[in-house]
A and B are shown apart, each in its own frame.
Chain A
């Protein structure tokens, strides 16, 4: 299957600062990427859909000014958590759609642990 890489895998930042998480599709081009948030022992919560060359589409209840998403190329999407607060601490996962593969398959990155202190 296709490979999606996330970086960093773990990050600690101070409250009030911003932190950027990268999501890369390593062996395919992804016109669409997704960002999720996962709370401990819970399922994935879709935050936004990232489309290459256009604005991201945010799910209801997700603050677009707080969670900035940029999809500048066919292999890279970034999530920037702005003015982070402790309640933003979570596991963030991205996924990317391989449009060449049948069945609308998406592949996930390894996830990024964000801790805001």
Chain B
């Protein structure tokens, strides 16, 4: 069955520290992969996506993610976190034939001043 796992429910980092949010998926072939960010009470904003080509993708707000086929992972990284990055982050898997994404349960990021 297709699934997305975000192992970390909460992560706390200090401002200026590096960040890595984990995402693992289960899918029969290479899916389309996405990271979204949600601020409290808001909709989701697309950070970045992977569907082909270079496995290291750059997104908005200084985020990047690396697709590792062998590990079925698509981890999100940022070298230096800002206080405004505090939010909920969702990893999503999209089968190439449809727009019906499968979302992970989310990781809530807290940033300490």
Contact = CB atoms under 8 A, between A and B. Distances in A.
Contact of B36 (A41, A91, A108): A108
Interface residues of B, number: 25
A109 B43 contact: yes
A95 B46 CA distance: 11
Interface in B11-40: 32, 34, 36
Interface in B28-73: 32, 34, 36, 41-46, 49-52
Nearest to A10: B41
A110 B41 CA distance: 8
A27 to B, nearest CB: 14
B103 A43 contact: yes
B103 A104 contact: no
A69 to B, nearest CB: 15
Nearest to B90: A43
Interface of A: 1, 4, 6, 32, 34, 41-44, 46, 49, 91, 93, 95, 97, 102-111, 113
5 contacts: A43-B105, A43-B106, A95-B44, A103-B51, A104-B32
